[in-house]
Amino acid sequence: MTDWMLALIGDWGVTVLAIVTFLSCLAVPVPSSMMMLASGAFAASGDMALIPAASAALVGAVAGDQTGYGLGRLSYRRAEGWLLQSPTRAAVLNRARGQVQTRGAVAVFFSRWLFSVLGPYVNLLAGGAGMTWLTFTAMGVAGEIVWVSVYVGLGYLAGGQIEQIADLLGNASGFLASLAITGVLGWGLWRRRHRSATQP
């Protein structure tokens, strides 16, 4: 772990945790997971209170999710007229909206922690495709609780092994995100080929 990260946490405490998790949920490349691990280690050594640290990380993450959702909804409203001018685009848009409404809640939950690399983009898609705010918020908060608990908790338990755990979790998260994208693309291609084969 670099000295500047330790200095940030030492100087700013829970405030920097909230800011970093907020930015990470907007796809800004900040070391949010590493900072949460570090805050857990600081809590274990008595230099930081555990509950305020975890709460700050959670508040920042939820605020970032809400901002991303709002940006998705705003950009959709601005582009809606253009999208609906074409019957083809309108059909695709309506299908995407239906998919988000029926299966989007699961995507929101798992993209908070298991596929966290995809989280910011799922936020935009959920807002743009019209997922209800209540569903998005409920699933988002539930997923962020898992994310924050895992990283702050592991930091608390690991102490001096933070860098090794961060590398392990980072590699696992990247692998799972790649696997998810590959699976979705493969499923889409299979459906397209199946649809072509069944049409006369």
d(CA 117, CA 94) in angstroms, rounded, equals: 26
List, for residues 158-169, the tens digit of each pLDDT value: 765 555 555 545
Residue 97, CB-side half-sphere exposure with 13 Å CA sphere: 15
List, for residues 55-109, the tens digit of each pLDDT value: 999 999 999 999 999 999 998 877 777 767 878 777 766 766 666 777 889 989 9
Tell me the CA end-to-end span of the chain in Å, nearest whole number.
61
pTM beyond 0.85: no
CA dihedral sign of residues 147, 153, 158, 160: positive
Contact 152, 43 (CB under 8 A): yes
> Is the pLDDT assigned to residue 184 strictly greater than 60?
no
